[in-house]
Amino acid sequence: MKALEEVAYEAGRAALADQESLVSGVRQRTGTLLAAHALVASFLGATTIREAGFEVWSWLAVGALLLGLVAAAILLAPWKLKFAVDARDLYSNLYEEAAAESEAGTLGWLASAGYLFQDLREENAVRVRWMSRISGLLGGLMVIQTLAWLAGLAIN
**What value does the mean pLDDT take over residues 127-149?**
96
Report d(CA 50, CA 30) in Å as an integer.
Answer: 29
Higher pLDDT among residues 46 and 113, named by residue: 46
Cα separation of 90 and 151, whole Å?
A: 58
* Band of pLDDT at residue 24, cut at 50, 70 and 90: very high
Supply the DSSP string of 32-55, one letter for each residue.
HHHHHHHHHIIIIIHHHHHHH-S-
Mean pLDDT, residues 33-48 taken together: 94
CA distance 64 to 70: 10
Distance between CA 36 and CA 113 in Å, rounded?
42
Q: Is the pLDDT of residue 147 over 70?
A: yes
Task: Please provide the average confidence, as pLDDT, over all residues in the chain.
Answer: 87
**Predicted confidence band of residue 5 (pLDDT cuts 50, 70, 90):** confident
Q: Give the chain's radius of gyration (CA, Å).
A: 24
The DSSP code for 84 is S
- DSSP H helical ranges for 41-107: 46-52, 56-76, 87-102
* Residues contacting 23, CB < 8 A, separation 6+: 79, 81, 83, 128, 131
